[in-house]
Structure 1
Amino acid sequence: MTIASDVKKCAASLKGLEAGLSNLALRTQDDESKRILHETMMKVSEVTKDIQERVGELEREEPQYRGF
């Protein structure tokens, strides 16, 4: 497995985590839990964005990684 495919797999996992946190935040009744879940989802979203940018860098630096 290449570095690019590992990074892309990580990005996909983070997106799934983000969706799961969002779902939990919507379903919970406790306001404090809702707030914490939303804040955590926003932090994961920032990390996901950074990883996606890194994927773009990898693809620009190493054209053979495009589409993996």
Structure 2
Amino acid sequence: MTTYSKVKQTLVSLQGAKATMESYAQLAQDEGTRKSFRRNAERLDEVLARLKRRIQSMEFEEPQYKGF
């Protein structure tokens, strides 16, 4: 497995984790718990944005990966 594949796999996994946190935030009955899940989902947004930029850099440096 290439580094590019691992980075893409990490991106997909983190997107799933973010979706799960958003779901838990909707289901949580305690306001503090809801805020915690939302805050962590927002933090994951930041990580996802950086990871997407890194993937774009990798695709620019190695054109054969573009479109995977």
Q: Gaps spanning 5+ residues in structure 1: where?
A: none
Match of 2:57 in 1: 57
Would you say how many aligned residue pairs link Structure 1 and Structure 2?
Answer: 68
Deviations 1:29-65 (A, max 9, x none): 1000000110000001110111011001000000111
Higher relative contact order (CA 8 A, sep 6+): 1
Distance (whole Å) between structure 2 residues aligned to residue 9 and residue 33 of structure 1: 28
Aligned-residue RMSD, C-alpha? 0.7
Percent identity, aligned pairs only?
A: 34
TM-score (norm 1): 0.95
Q: Gaps spanning 5+ residues in structure 2: where?
A: none
Match of 1:33 in 2: 33
